[in-house]
């Protein structure tokens, strides 16, 4: 797979505790993105943050949260990202959770495949 220089970055904000059945929502998102052949996905775990409820979630020992902020980032061609959006919508509906989804233009500098270790 080769990405053109212009692409879209999909950024998905959610909570660590969000689930689709018994699977973490972020894990379900990554698996569905892979099934649809998107270029790649990365999950970031935040150390502190808040959303619409203004409830702060943090890794600080006194306020240790089991629902830390999570960001999933996926970069690919606009057409592929657009085909993924309905799947993403269905996952959020199944999880019955809140979140924020943004999309922005990005310029791909380099996209290389490494050796597959499996």
Task: Tell me the pLDDT tens digit for each residue of 6-29.
Answer: 999 999 999 999 999 999 999 999
**Is position 117 within any domain?**
no
The model's confidence at residue 65, banded by pLDDT at 50, 70 and 90, is low
pTM: 0.84
pLDDT at 89: 96
**Is position 118 within any domain?**
no
The model's confidence at residue 61, banded by pLDDT at 50, 70 and 90, is low
**Is position 69 within any domain?**
yes
Question: Which DSSP state fits 32?
Answer: H
pLDDT in tens, 39-50: 999 999 987 777
Cα 13 from chain centroid (whole Å): 7
**Is position 1 within any domain?**
no
Domain count, the chain: 1
Exposed, middle or buried, 69 (CB in 10 Å: 0-12/13-18/19+)?
buried
**Is position 94 within any domain?**
yes
Q: For position 102, which CATH number holds? A: 3.30.70.120
Cα 1 from chain centroid (whole Å): 20
């Amino acid at each position: 797979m080769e990405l053109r220089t212009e692409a879209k970055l999909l950024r998905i904000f959610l909570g660590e505790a969000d689930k689709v059945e018994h699977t973490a929502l972020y894990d379900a998102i990554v698996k569905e993105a892979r099934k649809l052949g998107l270029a790649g996905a990365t999950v970031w775990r935040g150390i502190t943050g808040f959303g619409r409820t203004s409830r702060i979630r943090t890794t600080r020992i006194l306020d240790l949260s089991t629902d830390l902020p999570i960001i999933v980032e996926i970069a690919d061609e606009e057409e592929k990202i657009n085909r993924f959006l309905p799947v993403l919508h269905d996952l959020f509906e199944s999880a019955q959770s809140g979140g924020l989804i943004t999309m922005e233009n990005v310029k791909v500098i380099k996209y290389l495949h490494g050796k597959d270790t499996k």
